[in-house]
Structure 1
């Protein structure tokens, strides 16, 4: 059975999930409203059973990644070579298992969270526990908000079985390629951030890891679609700043409308759905800041810049590895995350 596609009802569900996630995080006094919003955006799904699978795996993966990452950060404090090795292994393992395991969603976000915690610990060890605690609460706000909205408004249900792991063939070379790209990209971003103060580390990491693929051609297409989606999302987000966003009803309405717009492509299926996925992420990055509505342009620019830097790092490393490993450069059909 095919996965349900988009309709106006699903657009309302997705937009309401994001707005409610931001409201939950704000009521709890959590700074990272952006994390809550993107968690709701990524978990929202026309298939209710798929939503619950993603929600559970997202929470479990995040919790394990935070716990293990916090322990490793404490143990490896003051030893940059070990920290770099941990980041390489976490990113590589996450990208490998994302395609090899039926629980790839949990693996991916667990390893991604571990990498983020270890990286942040390089300069913020004293507040690391609070940082880890905040990340879990923020993501939980997004997941719970999305699940609650979909449960209350009773979306369509699918009897389709869970999708099988992507790596169904015996060729493991593509998986090792994805692991190497993810590992080296993670270390490169960690180095850039610690040495130059790379803006918006979270956005850079997410952007980089999301577009890694076991096939170079697919990864290249996803990177191009991410650039296009980010340009659209950032442009719409910057245009939204023209409204009086200090007014809560106006802010909620603008955020709802933008998410509804991008959900059409995000959940619509087809080759261009990934543009909608990334457009929604960029729109959220532009419109949702740690304090709520954006009150300055520079933080928005930093977030969008982080997205482009992350993709640029991944593409550069992919080209280098393709040259060294001789990977095929075909570009098969790609879809959303």
Structure 2
């Protein structure tokens, strides 16, 4: 009898998860179309879109002139370093750059040992991810911690097949980010306001085993997810494990609600879904643009700038889906910018897109299995 009740309860939970997924899909698509309908109606959004487009086009052009190893990573840095004010953009860019430099050094040093020991590598990736994710919730310099974790993971993962490449990868990632951050700062200086902003507040590292326990728990589960991605990739040979690791690390950095009023599971699921939809929509638009086989550098850059403008418009919108806009622009850029010229083939973009979707699929499974529901979260907070 009790077994039958348990099965029925589980069935109802599964049905409710599907219903919530359908509701989330409806809200996300509705918000997306409303944002598109609002294009041009709000000067603040339009202006910020121009800032983002100029920053990405400038970064891409400089990266191509310098013949950087990964111009797409530089272009993404030029977009992700921007905030609503010039002062905020500079601070965010410096945090991103400092975290990248430290992470590149750590990844290079650890590559001497970890790339020859898979167990130790998994342990390091899990701990680094946990530290970065926890820091995003408790430290005013959390972004630097997060990018230290991301960059060290990238250096290690991209050197798996050839450990001698670790130094080159570390240098390349640092230069890519430095170019992107520098171009974003120049753009912010010219096009954005520079009024002073109050320093960000954060609860700090104290009481991680007390009042900040949910933050620590959040980080532990993030570390488990990253290790799961690595193990699954090793078994089934999924493409672009570095991008999948970045996907999980950034999605898991969703801040907790301080009063515990909303479950961690719901927050992570919502942010994961928004990233999924943003990546899906941005990737599809990018693949459609690649299918046009544009060979002109001018028109290629114009397409990148135009779609980035739309992505920033959605990110700055008022319909509750800013993360969709962020990921829309993010995936569009990394799919469109493949080398030192307009891409000649759609296949590399398809591979990158598949890597992101693979990481998100694993993330959603781990989230459903390991994240607590509302009642479980209340019990954790009580204890």
Same fold (TM over 0.5): yes
Q: Give, in whole Å, the separation in 2 of the partners of 1:5 and 1:218.
A: 30
C-alpha change, 1:165 and 1:5, in structure 2 (3 Å) is: farther
Q: Which structure has the bigger radius of gyration?
A: 2
The more displaced of 199-208 and 80-89 is 199-208
Q: C-alpha separation between the residues in 1 aligned to 2:370 and 2:203?
A: 22
| Number of the residue aligned with 1:333 | none
Which structure 2 residues correspond to residues 86-105 of structure 1 after superposition, within 5 A? 86-105=124-143
Query: Structure 1-normalised TM-score?
Result: 0.89
- Does 1:80 find its partner at 2:118? yes
Normalising by structure 2, what TM-score? Answer: 0.79
Secondary structure at 1:30 match in 2: coil
Partner of 2:194: 157
Consecutive unaligned residues of structure 2, counting only runs of 5 or more, are 1-41, 257-263, 379-383
Q: Which residue among 322, 326, 336 is the counterpart of 1:287? A: 336
Q: How many residues align?
A: 325
Q: Determine the structure 2 residue equivalent to 1:208.
A: 248
CA displacement at 1:144 relative to structure 2: 0.7
Deviations 1:113-159 (A, max 9, x none): 11222223332212121111111111111111111112123x12343
Please give the alpha-carbon distance, in whole angstroms, between the structure 1 residues aligned to 2:316 and 2:342: 26
What does residue range 36-115 of structure 1 map to in structure 2 within 5 Å? 36-115=74-153
Distance 2:73 2:49 in 1: 20
Q: Aligned match of 1:265 in 309, 314, 319?
A: 314
- Taking the aligned partners of 1:252 and 1:280, their CA distance within structure 2 comes to 14
Runs of at least 5 residues in structure 1 that lack an aligned partner in the other structure: 330-337
Cα offset, 1:166, TM superposition: 6.5
Aligned partners of 2:159 and 2:281: how far apart in 1? 33
Is 2:14 the partner of 1:14?
no
Contact 1:92 1:180 in 2 (8 A): yes
Distance 1:166 1:198 in 2: 38
Map Cα deviations across residues 169-205 of structure 1 (whole Å, 9 max, x no partner).
9632321222122211111222233343321223212
**Preserved CA contact (<8 Å) 2:114 2:121:** yes
Aligned partner (choices 358, 362, 367) of residue 309 of structure 1: 358
The answer to whether the 8 Å contact 1:286/1:300 transfers is yes
User: How far apart, in 1, do the equivalents of 2:70 and 2:159 lie?
Assistant: 17
Kindly state the Cα deviation for residue 277 of structure 1 after the two structures are TM-superposed: 0.5
Candidates 228, 244, 250, aligned match of 2:299: 250
**CA deviations over 1:70-123 (Å, ceiling 9, x no partner):** 101113342221111111111111111111101000000111111222223332
Deviations 1:201-228 (A, max 9, x none): 2321222112113422111111111121
Q: In 2 relative to 1, CA 326–28 (structure 1 residues): closer, same or farther, beyond 3 Å?
A: farther
Q: Counterpart in 1 of 2:289?
A: 240
Q: Do the aligned partners of residues 18 and 8 (structure 1) sit closer, same or farther apart at CA in structure 2, a change above 3 Å counting?
A: same
Counterpart in the other structure of 1:297: 346
Distance 1:117 1:194 in 2: 17
1:57 Cα deviation from its structure 2 partner: 0.6
State the 1:311 CA deviation: 1.8
CA contact (8 A) 1:94 1:109 kept: yes
Q: For residues 70 and 186 of structure 2, what CA distance do their matches in structure 1 show?
A: 20
What root-mean-square deviation, in Å, do the aligned CA atoms of Structure 1 and Structure 2 show? 2.3
Asked whether the equivalents of residues 237 and 286 of structure 1 are also in contact (C-alpha less than 8 Å), the reply is yes
**1:242 to partner: Cα distance:** 4.1
Q: Is the 8 A contact 1:6 1:264 kept in 2?
A: no
The answer to which of 227-236 and 114-123 deviates more is 114-123
CA separation in 2, counterparts of 1:304 and 1:327? Answer: 35
